[in-house]
Amino acid sequence: MRAITLNSEIDLDGWKAASRALRASGIPPAEVRFVTGEAVQTTLFGSDDEASEAGEVAALVVPRAFVETAADLILHRAPDRFDLMYRLLWRLRDEPDLMRVASDPDVAAAAERVKNVHRAAHKMKAFVRFRETTDEAGERWVAWFEPAHRVLEKTAPFFARRFSTMRWSILTPDGAAHWDGGRLSFGPPARQDEAPQEDEVEDFWRTYYASTFNPARLRTRMMQSEMPKRYWKNLPEASLIPELVASAGLRTEGMVSRAAPQPNEKFVRLRAPTVDRTATDDMVPVNLPALASGVEGCRRCPLWRDATQAVCGQGPAGARLMIVGEQPGDQEDLAGRPFIGPAGRVLSDALNAAGIDRAESYLTNAVKHFKHEPRGKRRLHKTPNAGEVQACRWWLDHERKLVKPRLILALGATAGLAVLGRKPAVQVERGKVIETPDGDRVLLTVHPSYLLRLPDPELRRREQAAFAADLQLARIETR
Ligand code: URA
């Protein structure tokens, strides 16, 4: 058994160099164990001669899916993740399509862990709470956070984009990230008592949370899955949860649409416009995860201000079918995933009936933020205008380049505008494949929410049948 010592828990370069050398020397996974730190002796090779050969090992060619998986998998806290990564790498030599075999136990274990890492990154973005301090250079915002996995380095660029005009630090048990207004740097693990404990912004968070808490929509289990208890201890607003839950019934009765308190000055500043550094031509996303994190920080148009979050496309890179909708709706905006609300259910049923696997398709929207206007407690959908569609086309165009689908199914006029670059006459142009000047193939059809809105049952039946026929054609054209 060879023990390979890596420099840190997320030492991807060290893992790559060691694994490359191990694989080139024909050392199977069963004979290797990766550890971190200095306590264990590094014995990559049995002798100095073998060790010197390691430096000459050429770079390996591996599928992009593996590279992307490894980059996230290493952030998982499971101690055997390095071994799993090496097992996958080893097997790829004889099974080049291994990463596509979702039922394979190693691939499935890796996918599950990558999902956990993504979730931990998502939670970190949602639950970091900065507290104000001052140092010799002036105002500085400091947060303490305990991520479920080692996602500090992964998420720090998000905070740098979001809070680009502030000086801040995020302290965690794994390390610390510091932003000085222009440069991101990382430091050693921190302790909670190094972060400020309470400040007046806390009261603001509590007021804000209490005012956005809607007792009529209380679903305790869902709330706990979105805001898991492990994060509560560092969230000022979490102290309110037990009481808010207990009094939800009473409050529902007494609730009249009371105006939310004005956001205080600090919060307004936190949300002040920032220059979008993710969506410029010199920051072209090189893969879908990079695109998703760019979309998250997008400021190309003002829609981000009123949306809960951006909703990026979802689905495998290399999907044969790309489905483009208009924009996320109320439920998509809250969950951060496309097509999960009523229109999404109509779409899923129709895809099923047409024999198209939704999970194998790439679903996205022309516009990535929810445009709406408040009406009492509801948020009413508003159609994005041509300027907003044009601003967001930057992302859609990159999604098209990265996914390279055989066919793009555009749902409705807004999707048609985004995909074709001109406003189409949907009912006239639907149902046939349109070639774009750059060689993409587009099939135009109606938006599923149009089917939901049709009051006349006979017309609805006819339109549903036409929609089904369009999807049949999509299936044939993506074969
Ligand atoms: N409608 C859309 O166009 N997209 C969604 O994601 C949801 C509803």
Based on the domain organization, do 427 and 463 belong to the same domain? yes
**pLDDT > 80? residue 121:** yes
DSSP state of 434: E
User: Residue 470 — pLDDT band, cuts 50, 70, 90?
Assistant: very high
Which ligand 1 atom is nearest residue 363's CA?
6
Residue 432: CA atoms inside 13 Å, Cβ hemisphere, count?
7
| Res 59: pLDDT | 64
Q: Write the CATH number for 363.
A: 3.40.470.10
Based on the domain organization, do 459 and 394 belong to the same domain? yes
Residue 433: CA atoms inside 13 Å, Cβ hemisphere, count?
16
Tell me if 240 sits within 8 A of 211, measured CB to CB: no
Alpha-carbon span 471 to 175, nearest angstrom:
50
Chosen domain end from 122, 154, 176? 122
Q: How far is the CA of 95 from the centre of ligand 1 (A)?
A: 38
Q: How far is the CA of 389 from the centre of ligand 1 (A)?
A: 14
Based on the domain organization, do 295 and 370 belong to the same domain? yes
**Mean pLDDT across 79-91:** 96
Tell me the C-alpha to C-alpha distance, in Å, between residue 433 and each of 205, 436, 437, 457, 466: 51, 10, 13, 29, 15
Other Cβ atoms closer than 10 A to 273: 10
**Mean pLDDT across 9-37:** 93
Percentage of the chain lying above the pLDDT 70 cut: 80
| Res 253: pLDDT | 57
> For the segment 95-105, what is each residue's pLDDT rounded down to a tens digit?
999 999 999 99
Ranking 99-113, 150-164, 244-258, 317-331 by mean pLDDT, the lowest is 244-258
| Res 249: pLDDT | 59
User: Residue 271 — pLDDT band, cuts 50, 70, 90?
Assistant: low
Number of domains in the chain: 4
54-68, 237-251, 254-268, 461-475, range with greatest mean pLDDT? 461-475
| Token pair in block for residue 121 | 């990154």
343 lines ligand 1 (CB under 6 A): yes
More confident residue, 25 or 217: 25
**Mean pLDDT across 243-253:** 62
Residue 268 lies in a domain: no
Q: What is the pTM of this model?
A: 0.48
Beta bridge partners of residue 139, listed in sequence order: 134
Based on the domain organization, do 378 and 436 belong to the same domain? yes
Residue 406 lies in a domain: yes
Based on the domain organization, do 183 and 222 belong to the same domain? no
Residue 282 lies in a domain: no
| Token pair in block for residue 340 | 């999960």
> For the segment 354-388, what is each residue's pLDDT rounded down to a tens digit?
999 999 999 999 999 999 998 887 899 999 999 99
> For the segment 328-359, what is each residue's pLDDT rounded down to a tens digit?
999 999 999 999 999 999 999 999 999 999 99
**Residue 186 φ then ψ, to 5°:** -125, 145
| Res 214: pLDDT | 67
Residue 265 lies in a domain: no
336 lines ligand 1 (CB under 6 A): no
Based on the domain organization, do 83 and 27 belong to the same domain? yes
| Res 129: pLDDT | 86
Chosen domain end from 194, 219, 240? 194
Residue 183 lies in a domain: yes
| Res 324: pLDDT | 98
Residue 201 lies in a domain: no
Ramachandran category for residue 77: left, alpha or beta (phi over 0 → left; psi -120 to 50 → alpha): alpha
| Res 55: pLDDT | 42
Q: How far is the CA of 368 from the centre of ligand 1 (A)?
A: 10
Based on the domain organization, do 117 and 144 belong to the same domain? no
Percentage of the chain lying above the pLDDT 90 cut: 66
Residue 262 lies in a domain: no
Based on the domain organization, do 293 and 381 belong to the same domain? yes
Residue 420 lies in a domain: yes
> For the segment 272-328, what is each residue's pLDDT rounded down to a tens digit?
555 555 566 667 899 999 999 999 988 889 899 889 999 999 999 999 999 999 999
Q: How far is the CA of 227 from the centre of ligand 1 (A)?
A: 24
**Mean pLDDT across 60-73:** 93
**pLDDT > 50? residue 48:** no
384 lines ligand 1 (CB under 6 A): no
Q: How far is the CA of 444 from the centre of ligand 1 (A)?
A: 15
**pLDDT > 90? residue 175:** yes
416 lines ligand 1 (CB under 6 A): no
**pLDDT > 80? residue 15:** yes
> For the segment 177-230, what is each residue's pLDDT rounded down to a tens digit?
999 988 999 999 999 988 887 665 566 666 666 666 666 666 666 666 677 777
| Segments forming the whole domain that contains residue 145 | 128-194
**pLDDT > 50? residue 50:** no
* Maximum separation of any 2 CA atoms in the chain, in Å: 81
285 lines ligand 1 (CB under 6 A): no
**Mean pLDDT across 378-405:** 95
Q: How far is the CA of 332 from the centre of ligand 1 (A)?
A: 7
More confident residue, 383 or 256: 383
Tell me the C-alpha to C-alpha distance, in Å, between residue 110 and each of 46, 70, 470: 30, 8, 37
**pLDDT > 50? residue 428:** yes
| Res 181: pLDDT | 87
Based on the domain organization, do 406 and 310 belong to the same domain? yes
Based on the domain organization, do 427 and 294 belong to the same domain? yes
Substitution candidate for ligand 1 out of 337, 339, 389, 452 with most atoms within 8 A of CB? 339
Which ligand 1 atom is nearest residue 366's CA?
3
Q: How far is the CA of 334 from the centre of ligand 1 (A)?
A: 13
User: Residue 37 — pLDDT band, cuts 50, 70, 90?
Assistant: confident
338 lines ligand 1 (CB under 6 A): yes
Based on the domain organization, do 240 and 389 belong to the same domain? no
Based on the domain organization, do 336 and 380 belong to the same domain? yes
